[in-house]
Amino acid sequence: MKNLLLIITILCACSYAQEEIPDDKNTNLTFTERAKDLVSHLTLEEKIAQMCSWAPDVKRLGLPAFSYQGEALHGLAEAGHGKLMQATSFPTSITMGSTWDPDLMEEVATAISDEARAAYNMGEMDISFWSPTINMLRDPRWGRNDEAYSEDPYLMSKMAVAFVKGLQGTHHKYLKTIASPKHFVANNSEYNRHDGNSEVTERWLREYYFPAYKACFQEGGAYATMCAYNRLNGVPACCNEWLLTTVLRDEWGFDGYVVTDCGAILDIFANHNYVETPEEASALAVKAGCDLNCGNIYVEALGKAVEKGLVTEKDFDVALEKMFVGRLKLVLFAPEDEFPYSDFPPEIIEIKKHQDLALRAAQESLILLKIDIFLPLSKELKSIAVIGPNANRCVL
């Protein structure tokens, strides 16, 4: 009888061991606890590789590859695999700003994230987006004025928060997608794009350039942001500790991750001449609070930076934990019966409801300038010619 009880006890213990769930997949733990466990199993080389915006898989951990490189300013623009997406094209951001309607903006962003989830469920794309653009529209010569909403910080803030909420969703636990307001901060000059210095007083930063970002994080809950190419008062934005840690994290309570604009780490040493080597630039950026690199510099330089004592593996852990919390909130290792966005079908992409919404948004944005010579147009006109290289071209 004793032998029988012993056998039963052993079998029960074996069964329990087999059913034990690894911490990174244990949904009873917090996202932070799960992310810490996941990072603890990565080698140094794997950690550095995960700090690239095209993160490779780690098969032994069941960790799939992931692209952080999506764009969704006014519809899905790229799948992260080098191809354009079939998706509803909504009016551009500057056009949406003309509606003065945050509720409409959130409705549009919700439609975009619906289509993003459908594309993700089809295996067509990942769901981290470098949107919205919220650089202040101060100079008509800037080449990206169409990407942002306004020159007014109040309107910019309201539209940006609405976009973030629509993109990330309202679920209490999971994110529908990740929004990354950009380019942080004081970045709207074209001719010195990679080596410019924005000299801005702190009062002007806090009253004009910061409000839309602060609102996106504190009101909208944006989980990521992109740092800019330019220097801010002499210090490159992507290695500016005052900007990325003191203000963003310590003052505003931001707990997500920061990604570079593409090639910004190279700019730190090659164009700004702020330091002499890619190892110094990469180490400064990571320690300042720049977690993720769009480009290859982190992958090429961070290992050498560790050897030189410029940065530690613990610094990488801090960065990676934020990124993995984001991925866990999106979908990583989430059980199907718990996750709310797994049933978005392919048919939702470009449905009539979204096309009608795009038309309504365009109609709400119209502003009529009365010019007595030309306007209003005669009701006797039978046709109107639209002429030029883009007359019959839709560009995302």
Q: Which residues contact 261 (CB under 8 A, 6 or more apart)?
A: 182, 183, 226, 227, 228, 229, 238, 294
Helix (H, G, I), strand (E, B) or coil at 52: strand
Task: Say if CB 319 and CB 257 are below 8 A apart.
Answer: yes
Half-sphere exposure of 371 (CA within 13 A, CB side): 5
Helix (H, G, I), strand (E, B) or coil at 382: coil
Tokens of 60: 């032994």
Task: Say if CB 247 and CB 185 are below 8 A apart.
Answer: no
Task: Verify whether residue 356 is a known catalytic residue.
Answer: no
Task: Say if CB 36 and CB 59 are below 8 A apart.
Answer: no
Pick from 110, 184, 41, 125: nearest CA to 358: 110
Residue among 24, 101, 261, 291 flagged as catalytic: 261
Pick from 141, 89, 131, 79: nearest CA to 111: 89
E strand or H helix at 297: helix 297-307
Task: Say if CB 158 and CB 109 are below 8 A apart.
Answer: no
Task: Concatenate the DSSP letters of all residues of 214-278 into one string.
Answer: HHHHHTS---EEEE-SSEETTEEGGG-HIIIIIIIIIIT---SEEEEPTTHHHHHHHTS-SSSSH
Active-site positions read: 261
